[in-house]
Chain A
């Protein structure tokens, strides 16, 4: 099926560029060399397209296997709890610092503009909404893509290189169920919790920022902040955070699990896991914003 699909794409590209190949015998000297260079470019381009579609198809096959193992009996609950601890608890310091700083910076940057309009009382609500709707989920997901995605890519990649995944398989253990399902589900569950935690600390940081140049009580600030936040601000943000978590876990595991056999492939797996999962987080965010806008 995949072969059929990629062959079809190749065929389309070759047809598009094939006149160059057909005229080679009819033209002379330098012109022939140019045509050959063009045809080499075409072949290289075809290979790139081929690789891209093969990678996409591989990813969907991996996702299909993940779904099948998730819903089959024999869930590795102990490993799932261990992964929740690794992803959730061990990310807390980084998320704490980031959340506070984002709230603080957002407040310090917006305050002068709001003062000009005499709308400084809107500051807590504005910061709370922008943190809960957008900044909290996206920044947390991007940080987790860097920390968790690269960790999964490197860990599973090195397990592949050192034959640990093979050892697991010959020990009658399903490596997808043990390594992938637990990690992806843990990331899917933990990232929304980290997002809520980052939102809370962001608002706390914002209160700190508001108090650097002004004077506002903790209770008043929080009352004003949450007074502007509605259910439909929080709900879509939490839902998209689940998707962020799933995509970070899936991409990290996919890149690690399908890493090559050499040690350099561990680095490549970690790097490409971060790049691809960050990109997908942004794309999912864009789609989520469009859907939320329609509601």
Chain B
């Protein structure tokens, strides 16, 4: 995509104050070392919540606990009012269908073409679609991320930014209600990072999703955040609007916004 054509899309305002995700007193540690220590937060319907923090502050662990890729040691996580920790396997599967997860590495299946990558979740989550409807859906999301021509390419033939966009397409192809972004702009150049940030806002507007964006990239946070939470040493250090963070005199927060 040409750098001059990057649309600057701002995030939409949250539509309501209904909680879609509620985390209370979450604790998680590995080998005796506590990574998350009493974390509580809420994600409201239609908002983009950015979770900021240094590397190793437990941001990725936090969203992996939400989809139960990791089991928390203590605390509760509710998604649409359902407790993720106590739900059975079938219920967890149903819950995961409502959540889209963009992995830091993209996590595209290496052995499949772009089309097969997009078809994979569609076949499993939207089982009632015909092949024609699946093809149309794939075409639509690829157009949305601006990569229609990549349909028959293998992931190894794509650049870092393209992989991220295809990965985003794979996530939105099943119309999730919540989007979890794990470091969406890490390892990308500033131009591609801006493209991804704009895409996040576009997805929020077009698909009416609520998003939790884990990042340490301030530009990404500026472009996408309705609200920001900062994690430090496994605790919620500060919560508020981005402007409040930028005005803060706290040395830790200032070091982020230099």
Contact = CB atoms under 8 A, between A and B. Distances in A.
B155 to A, nearest CB: 10
A171 B94 CA distance: 10
B103 interface: yes
Contacts of B129: none
B110 interface: yes
Nearest to A166: B69
Interface in A125-169: 155, 158-159, 162-164, 166-169
A162 B107 contact: yes
A196 to B, nearest CB: 28
A116 interface: no
- Give the interface size class of chain A: 10 to 19
A170 B99 contact: yes
Nearest to B69: A166
Contact of A163 (B94, B103, B120, B124): B103
A64 interface: no
B136 to A, nearest CB: 20
A170 B94 CA distance: 10
B240 interface: no
Contact of A169 (B69, B109, B110): B69
Main secondary structure of the interface of A (DSSP, over half): helix
Given A162-B105, A163-B103, A171 B67 contact: no
A166 B96 contact: no
Contact of B101 (A159, A162, A164, A167): A167
B97 interface: yes
Interface string B220-253: 0000000000000000000000000000000000
B107 A173 contact: no
Contact of A171 (B108, B111, B124): B124
Given A164-B109, A164-B110, A166-B69, A171 B103 contact: no
A163 B170 CA distance: 14
B107 A167 contact: yes
- Looking at B103, B107, B121, B124, the one whose CB has the most chain A CB atoms below 10 A away is B107
A168 B111 CA distance: 13
Contact of B124 (A155, A158, A159, A172): A172
A172 to B, nearest CB: 5
Nearest to B89: A174
Interface string B54-74: 000000000010010100000
A170 B174 CA distance: 12
A158 B105 CA distance: 12
B96 A170 contact: yes
Nearest to A161: B105
- Looking at A166, A170, A172, A173, the one whose CB has the most chain B CB atoms below 10 A away is A170
B121 A171 contact: yes
Contact of A170 (B67, B105, B108, B111): B67
Contacts of A171: 96, 120-121, 124-125, 174
Nearest to B167: A167
B97 A163 contact: no
Interface in A69-116: none
A170 B101 contact: yes
A163 B155 CA distance: 14
Interface of B: 64, 67, 69, 93-94, 96-97, 99, 101, 103-105, 107-111, 120-121, 124-125, 174
The 3 closest A-B pairs by CB, nearest first: A167-B107, A171-B121, A163-B107
17 contacts: A155-B111, A159-B109, A164-B110, A167-B101, A167-B103, A169-B69, A170-B67, A170-B96, A170-B99, A171-B124, A171-B174, A172-B93, A172-B96, A172-B124, A172-B125, A173-B120, A173-B124
Given A162-B110, A169-B96, A172-B121, 13 more contacts: A158-B110, A159-B110, A163-B103, A164-B110, A169-B67, A169-B69, A170-B69, A170-B96, A171-B121, A171-B124, A172-B94, A172-B96, A173-B120
